[in-house]
A and B are shown apart, each in its own frame.
Chain A
Amino acid sequence: QVQLVQSGAEVQKPGASVKVSCKASGYTFTNYFMHWVRQAPGQGLKWMGMINPSDGSTSYAQNFQDRVSMTRDTSTSTVYMELSSLRSEDTAVYYCARSWEGGATAYWGQGSLVTVSS
């Protein structure tokens, strides 16, 4: 069965970076896109970007363009989302989610809480 297992909660200081992982299993890793969505406490869902694990191509939301990097490791079927220059507003749960090309996200990870605090 399809599973997306994310890394655990993290606490980072303002100005630092965080790297969240999402390990996929139960399907052919390179056949589906992976998206990252975040949700600040009490707020709605915000799409951050996506990566095509087949060739590593990415598309980022403009709000995060300068601070986010999405990468993948095909040998371990893992995608990574790194967010730099963290500020308190980046405190949120970060989700990875799988889609077919041009499709909706049917499978989601469990979420990773990132807290930015001095």
Chain B
Amino acid sequence: DIQMTQSPSTLSASVGDRVTITCRASQSISSWLAWYQQKPGKAPKLLIYDASNLESGVPSRFSGSGSGTEFTLTISSLQPDDFATYYCQQYNSYPYTFGQGTKLEIK
């Protein structure tokens, strides 16, 4: 199975900050990577697919980059609504696997 490792596990930041979350795959997954945002009690929401494509309706302050084994999710200017947990997921091969999550907290 492909292991997905996110860092950091927790991130404290302020409104207006630029933040970056990293996701590493244990083997190459080309660009078959998605990023999700999840808020307590809610289903995950797709933000980015194919590593860098913004899902329809997602604010442009979210961006994704990377290929192969190293990927990043960047939020250019944090808004109050962005404090949540973020997960990466590879869909290069079954079983699809998620990173352990990054909790973005208010500083």
Contacts and interface: CB of A to CB of B under 8 A. Distances in A.
B33 to A, nearest CB: 8
B62 to A, nearest CB: 14
Given A45-B98, A45-B101, A46-B98, A105 B87 contact: no
A65 B14 CA distance: 43
Given A45-B101, A108-B44, A110-B43, A35 B49 contact: no
Interface stretch (A8-16, A72-80, A96-104): A96-104
A59 B94 contact: yes
Nearest to B98: A45
A111 B43 contact: yes
B81 interface: no
A95 B43 contact: yes
A76 B91 CA distance: 28
Contacts of B34: 104-105
Query: Contact size class for A?
Result: 20 to 34
Given A45-B87, A103-B49, A50 B94 contact: yes
Interface residues of B, number: 23
Interface string B40-71: 00011110011000010000000000000000
Binding site of B, secondary structure by majority: helix, strand, loop or mixed?
A: loop
A106 B38 CA distance: 13
Given A47-B89, A99-B91, A106 B98 contact: no
B43 A62 contact: no
Contact of B98 (A47, A50, A99, A109): A47
B100 interface: yes
A106 B49 contact: yes
Contact of A104 (B38, B91, B95, B97): B91
Interface of B: 1, 32, 34, 36, 38, 43-46, 49-50, 55, 87, 89, 91, 94-101
10 contacts: A44-B100, A46-B98, A47-B89, A47-B97, A50-B96, A95-B43, A102-B32, A104-B46, A104-B89, A108-B44
A-B interface, 4 closest residue pairs, ranked by CB to CB distance from nearest: A104-B34, A108-B43, A104-B49, A61-B95
